[in-house]
């Protein structure tokens, strides 16, 4: 029963469906753009002669790209070092202020009190030597 459908289709219907209308090919005008797109712009001989120059341009391009990467790396390094210098400057200022605070008379007295050294209560006395008595 499955083959019956295939045999019942007339052959004339199959042939009429397969006929395709042919369209006329439009003629392409002969100008620069159509020559470039259809025939190519550079011949093999021209490409062979221009190859050293193309390689030279590629080499210059690679040098340019490498130089750009190097410059950006240097800029990042400069920014990093500048940030580090600012941090060290702040650390210097904090350490200097801390030293100034710790070297005050009251702070020194507090620190040496644990060693048994106390602040003198008597005022300082000036010692003078007479030159006549020394000779």
Per-residue pLDDT of the chain in tens (135 residues, 90 and over written 9) = 555 555 555 555 555 555 556 677 677 667 766 666 666 666 777 778 889 999 999 999 999 999 999 999 999 999 999 999 999 999 999 999 999 999 998 888 888 888 888 888 888 889 998 887 555
Prediction pTM value: 0.48
Q: How far is CA 16 from CA 4, 6, 21, in A?
A: 21, 17, 11
CB of 30 within 8 A of CB of 38?
no
pLDDT of residue 83: 97
Diameter over CA atoms, the chain:
155
- Could you tell me the two tokens for 4? 């019956």
pLDDT of residue 76: 98
φ/ψ of 31, rounded to 5, equals -130, 180
């Amino acid at each position: 029963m499955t083959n019956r459908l295939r045999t019942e289709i007339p052959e004339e219907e199959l042939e009429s469906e397969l006929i395709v209308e042919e369209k006329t090919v439009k003629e392409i005008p002969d100008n620069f753009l159509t020559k470039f797109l259809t025939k190519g712009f550079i011949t093999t001989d021209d490409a062979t002669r221009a190859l050293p120059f193309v390689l030279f341009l590629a080499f210059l391009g690679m040098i340019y790209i490498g130089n750009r990467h190097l410059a950006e790396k240097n800029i990042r390094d400069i920014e990093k070092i500048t940030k580090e210098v600012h941090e060290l400057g702040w650390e210097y200022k904090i350490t200097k202020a801390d030293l100034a605070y710790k070297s005050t008379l009251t702070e020194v007295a507090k620190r040496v009190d644990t060693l048994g050294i106390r602040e003198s209560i008597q005022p300082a006395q000036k010692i003078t030597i007479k030159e006549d008595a020394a000779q």
